[in-house]
Amino acid sequence: MTRVLDVENLRVSFPAARDRVYPVDGVSFSLDRGETLALVGESGCGKSLTSLALLRLVPPPGRVEEGSTIRLGDTDVLALRGEALRRIRGRRIGMVFQDPMTSLNPVFTVGDQIAEGVRAHFPVSRGEARRRALELLREVGIPDPTARLDAYPHQLSGGMRQRVMIAIALSAEPEILVADEPTTALDVTVQAQILEVLDRLRDRRGMAVLLITHDLGIVAGRADRVAVMYAGQIVEEAPTAALFARPSHPYTQGLFASVPRITGPVERLSPIGGSVPPPGAWPSGCRFRPRCPQAFDKSETMPPLLPVGPGHRMRCWLAERGDGGAG
Amino acid sequence: MNPLADALARAWRDPRGRAGGLMLAAMAAAAALGPLVLPDPLAQPCVLTCRNLPPSAAHPFGTDDLSRDVLARVAAGGRISLAVAFLAVALSATLGAATGLVAGYWGGAVDSALMRLVDAALAVPRLFLLLLVLAVWEQVPVVMLILLIGATGWFGTGRLVRGEVLRLREESFVRAAEALGASRWRIMFRHLLPNTAAPLLVAATLGVGDVILLEAGLSFLGLGVQPPAPSWGGMILDAKSVLVAAPWAGIFPGLAIVITVLSANLFGDALRDAVDPRGA
């Protein structure tokens, strides 16, 4: 396995009333070639900001803090400036954004927008860029791609637009594809198609995929590993099968309990009480403590990521008792 | 169809837009083609007997106090007045778009500095500023007149474009373009500018009417287009002394001004409604 992305102790800060707040606070993960890592969490947990930080696109006045590391192969992303930074955007990491309705420029045809990505990174002629755009449209499964090349975004459905977004993200042939809630804005039936396109492309091109979602349902059978985020931190990380078999962190258990199950006995859903506190209002110690049904005295100190099983770690002192997953 | 073409098509379906557009096109065509077939607007065929002739087959709009053909002068004056208006507005739109793009996309100190400049400039009454400059600078050439009017007319447009850019830059297609490695200039000119084209065109169309009035006013005061070159405002000034003897010498250029400004405003209003139906 080739390591393509290494993120260590990523911290993103924003200025607040008095000092700075850290919506992303010490996130570490890595991605291998051909692998899908799902980053799961509620809105406001810092998962989108994490993905933007990978390309140094954190909107000002936010910034990535000293001591964070983002390595793309042997490129130190945080040391790049100007032109060098632009060369990795799109080329090393391609991004698919959440809302296909606003992620395409309304005044250009989809062919132009895909070709723009090609021409931004490769010295090819207009005609060649257009030919590649056509190929990409075909690759993401758009019917009648020749006609669609000259369509404007508003002439396409949401699912089609998201396919176009994927084609744009692929236009510079990146080794990593970051998909930030790629299906949230789409109908359920279209969701499945888009996810299939992503899976197929990953397998064919050997890309690594970082799938950011709040939906555990789309993670199963698709991601190799899952990282669950809460309040700016990764609270549990595990191979997908292990996580589904034995969700260990009380927050992860809460997430599973709030999703209806199709198989098994009909049970009352138990949502997690309260909501993610905003950055700056995080409690000391374990950040899930105020909402946690299993909090105990030790939760008042921040737990590190503790081993639960092979490749399976969680940020909870319950791991020491060896009874994680009992709940 | 892209949004600008779409807005134009909708404006065309609006009766005001169609009437305004057609009249404006007719005036522009008359100004462009008229002087090719009409008599020389400066010619004085018969100095004594042809002065202040009423409209007739030979002189459809009559002749003026210097026995020149009024129709020929209205057409030739239209050429100058419309050229001044379109070029000055084009200059204003360019300056305003550039300022608005830079201020809106760069933000921060650059934005503050540019917007304070615009605030200060808007506090100076344009007409008096122009009157002052033109009164000091006698016999101003038409090119300078265009530059002066254009350079004093972009402040509102700058603010308008900045507002649009502030809204657009939060749209995720800008983020998507950044994520694809587009440079700041590319984002400003390729992604943001075309998205401001429709409101920019509305502002420019309405600006054409304003500038025609402004130029006519300046020429009427003898400070704009300099005689003997014909201009609508200048013709009304000349006609003032023979208003009773030869009213046609003033009425026709006056009508030309009214029709042109009215059609520009009609078209601009229809276009604005087509761009932003809520603002109707």
Q: What digits encode the pLDDT tens for the residues B114-153?
A: 999 999 988 888 888 888 888 888 778 888 889 999 999 8
B185 Cβ under 8 Å from any chain A Cβ: no
Tens digits of residue pLDDT in B12-70: 888 898 988 999 998 888 888 877 777 777 777 676 777 777 777 777 777 777 778 87
- Name the one residue in this structure whose structure tokens are 């429709």: B198
Neighbours of A199 (CB within 10 A): 15
User: Could A103 and B191 be called an inter-chain contact, meaning their C-beta atoms sit closer than 8 Å?
Assistant: no
Judging contacts by C-beta atoms under 8 Å, the chain A residues touching residue B1 are 152
Judging contacts by C-beta atoms under 8 Å, the chain B residues touching residue A48 are none
Q: Residue A76: beta bridge partners?
A: A71
Helix intervals (H) in A96-223: 110-121, 126-139, 145-148, 158-170, 188-205
User: Could A172 and B1 be called an inter-chain contact, meaning their C-beta atoms sit closer than 8 Å?
Assistant: no
Tens digits of residue pLDDT in B76-124: 888 889 999 999 999 999 999 999 999 999 888 999 999 999 999 888 8
B183: nearest CA partner in chain A = A86
Chain B: closest CA distance from residue A266 (Å): 41
A108: nearest CA partner in chain B = B2
Instruction: Decide if B149 contacts B130 (C-beta within 8 A).
Output: yes
Supply the pTM of this predicted model: 0.79
Asked whether residue B154 carries a pLDDT value surpassing 80, the answer given is: yes
Chain A: closest CA distance from residue B202 (Å): 17
Ranges in chain A, pLDDT < 50: 324-327
Judging contacts by C-beta atoms under 8 Å, the chain A residues touching residue B178 are 55, 57, 89
User: Could B173 and A104 be called an inter-chain contact, meaning their C-beta atoms sit closer than 8 Å?
Assistant: yes
B196: nearest CA partner in chain A = A107
Instruction: Decide if B84 contacts B149 (C-beta within 8 A).
Output: yes
Judging contacts by C-beta atoms under 8 Å, the chain B residues touching residue A99 are 172
Average pLDDT over residues B141-170: 90
A181/A183 Cα distance (integer angstroms)? 6
Give the three-state DSSP class for A29.
Answer: strand
A177 Cβ under 8 Å from any chain B Cβ: no
Which ipTM value was assigned to this complex? 0.81
Instruction: Decide if B78 contacts B34 (C-beta within 8 A).
Output: yes
Q: Which pLDDT belongs to residue B278?
A: 58
What domains lie within chain A, and their CATH numbers? 3-223 (3.40.50.300), 229-321 (no CATH)
Give the three-state DSSP class for B260.
Answer: helix
Residue A186, judged by CB atoms within 10 A of its CB (0-12, 13-18, 19+), counts as: buried
B196 Cβ under 8 Å from any chain A Cβ: no
Instruction: Decide if A164 contacts A188 (C-beta within 8 A).
Output: no
Interface test with A, best of B105, B173, B188, B190 (most A CBs within 10 A): B173
B82/A270 Cα distance (integer angstroms)? 72
**Which candidate from B171, B176, B182 shows the least CB-CB separation from A120?**
B182
Domain spans in chain B, listed from the N-terminal domain onward:
3-33+65-279
B5: nearest CA partner in chain A = A107
Tens digits of residue pLDDT in B213-231: 998 888 888 888 887 888 8
User: Could B172 and A105 be called an inter-chain contact, meaning their C-beta atoms sit closer than 8 Å?
Assistant: no
Q: Look at chain A and count its residues.
A: 327
Chain A: closest CA distance from residue B186 (Å): 10
User: Could B175 and A57 be called an inter-chain contact, meaning their C-beta atoms sit closer than 8 Å?
Assistant: yes
B123 Cβ under 8 Å from any chain A Cβ: no
B193: nearest CA partner in chain A = A107
A234 Cβ under 8 Å from any chain B Cβ: no
Give the three-state DSSP class for A172.
Answer: coil
B45/A47 Cα distance (integer angstroms)? 83
Which CATH number applies to B3-33+65-279? 1.10.3720.10
Average pLDDT over residues B191-199: 88
- Name the one residue in this structure whose structure tokens are 């540019």: B114
**Which candidate from A60, A89, A102 shows the least CB-CB separation from B181?**
A89
